[in-house]
Amino acid sequence: MAPRHTTALSLAAVAALALAGCSSTASESGADGISLITPGSLTVCTNPPYEPFEYKDGDTIVGLDIDIVQQVADDLDAELVLVETGFDGIQSGAALNANTCDLVASGITITEERAGKLDFSAPYFDANQGLLTTTDSGLDSLESLAGTTIGVQQATTGETFAADNGLDVLQYEDLGLQIQALKNGDVDGIINDIAVLGPYTSDEYVVGAEFSTGEQYGLGVKKGNTALLDAVDATIARIQSDGTYATIYATYIGVTAAEG
């Protein structure tokens, strides 16, 4: 079934939403005390390309995260509206605080620092960090990265992991730019969540190493937005119990959730 959501808003529309958020409060509370910035619409900030969680299929944003927030929107009897937003504005809570969106969904690892800036849903995905490199690089462990240059996505836990381990890094705004840097030979490898690296493996590129970090993804709402957070958690619980999540997971990850 085709997703019931609008195409991503233009930058001008995003700016207009942000300005509106600075000058007014969210819409009046609806059922169960849930307030949405646009009545009848669940507006979600996301940051493609980050396949398989959010990425473009033509002009449409699709992915595991998008299917999940579509379920949230359906349970709220709302239309899903997607807003392409820089990841730093998502993970910092800035987009939520500006009323650019009601919810953020972008493969966001739950961390203590981020939890001080936005409220997280129950976790819905377990994630580790991975290293994508060329097949002939010989890079297959953390120790092997000494003396190399590694591309990281700014404001991510992959960047934090690289910094904590003293790696020489170059920062990029998104995964797409990381991949391009690797193809251009600007870096020896890139570190990001391992689940998003699989689509880029080929005869030339491999996931040379996986780093166990115990990370989990969550959806995020503005601090104190308890009514919406409760609704999101209810949807996550429902789709995990009725088989919907397993189907979504298998569609984008290639195995069932129990096997992942």
Query: Does 239 map to a domain?
Result: yes
Kindly tell me if the per-residue pLDDT of 16 is higher than 60. Answer: no
Kindly tell me if the per-residue pLDDT of 19 is higher than 50. Answer: no
16: left (phi over 0), alpha (psi -120 to 50) or beta: alpha
d(CA 94, CA 80): 20
Between these two residues, 148 and 8, which has the higher pLDDT value?
Answer: 148
In a shared domain, residues 11 and 112: yes
Query: Does 21 map to a domain?
Result: yes
Query: Does 90 map to a domain?
Result: yes
In a shared domain, residues 206 and 89: no
In a shared domain, residues 23 and 43: yes
Quote the pLDDT of residue 254.
76
Nearest to 114 by CA among 235, 236, 216: 216
In a shared domain, residues 162 and 146: yes
Quote the pLDDT of residue 226.
97
Q: What percent of the chain has pLDDT over 70?
A: 86
In a shared domain, residues 41 and 80: yes
Kindly tell me if the per-residue pLDDT of 26 is higher than 80. Answer: no
In a shared domain, residues 108 and 26: yes
What is the residue range of 161's domain?
Answer: 128-215
Kindly tell me if the per-residue pLDDT of 237 is higher than 80. Answer: yes
Query: Does 260 map to a domain?
Result: no
Kindly tell me if the per-residue pLDDT of 51 is higher than 90. Answer: yes
Nearest to 111 by CA among 213, 231, 210: 213
